[in-house]
Structure 1
Amino acid sequence: MLCLIPALGCQLVFGVWLPHDIKRHQDYVAAVPCAADATAKDGEDCLRTVSFTVERATNNPGMRSGGYKVTLSGTPFWNGVVEFGDPDPVLETLRPGDRVTGTVWRGDVVTVGKGRLRQSTSEAPRDEPQMTVAIGTFLGLLAVMGLGFGAVRMARPLDYEPFTWRPYGKPLLALMMITCAAVGLPAVWLDIPSWVVPAVAVPVVVFTARLLHRSRRPNGASAPAV
């Protein structure tokens, strides 16, 4: 029964989260500038260019979260804190009182510009599905592991070793987490297609799981399929 939780999570990642992010990025790419005579309003689908005043800028890489952010003011709808993933090229140049240009889409400030420099904010849709796919792949593998362990328990209630949390389940869980992250992160950095993540992670996990199973099964026991 417990394996249904990661199975549901996997379905939500691939059936809801990933399609939503892909559609949002497509809508953002297809968005056009707002008409010059159109009345500004919150949540509009067009791209509106707005002038802001910098109230405060934070450039602190040592903070666990919120280390890169700026507080903007001077507009009717979009004043507030905007966060970034890194300090350059714009955030590191900002000081209180600076005038900047922001691009607003669907109520979010998606870019901030100063002079000729532009920087995307954390709210800007990105075509980076690789880590989302990595999370879904991990949840899918976790569901399969739970299903396998449960099936062995039901089929062999008195002889289910080594299909227990120790010594097999714990290292197998760590293996799945490390493998999915180790494939997903470089895929984002190198802009590798997202389908490569499960195509690499699943065989690696299956192969290594078989090696772990062989090394941990009781002596003389037959090797059940993994």
Structure 2
Amino acid sequence: MTRSSSSSSSSAPAPGSPSGPPPARRDLRSALVPGAIGALLVPAAAVLFATLPGKLSEVHDFRAARPCEEAAVPENGGCLATRSAVVVAKESRREKKSDTRLVTLDPDEGPPAEVEMRGAGPVFGELEPGDRVTVHSWRGTDWALSLGELRQDLMGKPGPGAAARFAVALALLITGAALVRAAFRWSLRHTRDPAVHAWQTWVPFTATAAAVAAAVTAALTVDRVLPVLLITAAGCAVAGTASALLTRALGRRATDVVTLEPRVLTAERVVRATVAGEVP
């Protein structure tokens, strides 16, 4: 017992040694991965945004174009033109886990041409060699194929590609910004901070996913850019506010107190230990 008492009393810090525990260090390691991913996503979104103005302007001009029969002075193919053609053949290819649907046409004027359909219907499934179809074009690009009352878009139609790129750019920007913000907050924590609760991860993740969903839906369904940006900003504001309020509410209810139930030893246990400090 005397030995134990001496060891216990000698556990005090030796003269000249710093008193108390060492200062807590910033927990930077946990912020490296999200910070690095966010730092890559934000420039990627910027690159996509840099290529969007021309595409979006093209989409705007296409949607504002009128049929050439109604245009007073058609210039540079800026009106919606049509021409008649005969189906020579059609083919469906399986490439990279997707189907490519090709139709070979023999127009009344000009050499035969091959066009790629967007999707499986409704025109492609009804086409047969020898059918006469109507080809819709704008600025020299074929964008739709009609068979009677049925019409189907071609891969060259302006719009879907630009909208998808706009949606991807918004999703990358929101996700990257959320990761950079999370990395900054995590870098302010200390290594001796209490364990992170599960809700401190899934609440911001859910808010980010909701903001991304709102932005992508707006980009794919709304024609104009300004309303899309306003909807995206409103979605981010609502999601961020809800995340902050829910995090604060859960933080007030959280506790770091752990209740330990005593256990009675039924047998001798040997524990390795080291004597610290000077022993008289």
TM class by smaller structure = 0.5 to 0.7
The amino acid that maps onto 2:60 is: Q
- Cα drift, residue 202 of structure 1: 0.4
Counterpart selection for 1:80 from 97, 100, 114: 114
The amino acid that maps onto 2:55 is: D
Residue 9 of structure 1 corresponds to 44
- Cα drift, residue 124 of structure 1: 1.0
The amino acid that maps onto 2:169 is: G
Residue 255 of structure 2 corresponds to 219
CA change 1:219–1:82 in 2 (3 A) is same
1:207 to 2:241 alignment: yes
The amino acid that maps onto 2:171 is: F
Counterpart selection for 1:120 from 141, 146, 153: 153
Contact persistence 1:52–1:102 (CA under 8 A): no
Gaps of 5+ in 1: 34-43, 59-63, 221-226
CA change 1:179–1:161 in 2 (3 A) is farther
Contact persistence 1:138–1:176 (CA under 8 A): no
Q: Give me the whole-angstrom Cα distance separating, in 2, the residues matched to 1:198 and 1:94.
A: 41
Larger RCO of the pair (alpha carbons < 8 Å, separation 6+) = 2
CA RMSD, 1 decimal: 4.1
Gaps of 5+ in 2: 1-34, 69-75, 257-280
Residue 58 of structure 2 corresponds to 24
Q: Give me the whole-angstrom Cα distance separating, in 1, the residues matched to 2:150 and 2:237.
A: 44
Residue 209 of structure 2 corresponds to 177
Q: Give me the whole-angstrom Cα distance separating, in 1, the residues matched to 2:195 and 2:244.
A: 12
CA change 1:107–1:138 in 2 (3 A) is same
Deviates more, 1:140-149 or 1:192-201: 192-201
- Cα drift, residue 92 of structure 1: 4.4
Residue 103 of structure 2 corresponds to 71
Q: Give me the whole-angstrom Cα distance separating, in 2, the residues matched to 1:12 and 1:177.
A: 22
CA change 1:15–1:190 in 2 (3 A) is closer
1:156 to 2:189 alignment: yes
1:140 to 2:173 alignment: yes
- Cα drift, residue 71 of structure 1: 1.7
Question: What is the identity percentage for the equivalent residue pairs of Structure 1 and Structure 2?
Answer: 20
State the TM-score, normalizing by the size of structure 2: 0.53
Count of residues in correspondence between the two structures: 201
1:97 to 2:130 alignment: yes
- Indicate the SS of the match to 2:116: strand
Q: Deviations over 1:77-102 (max 9, x none)?
A: 773341224623x3443223322221
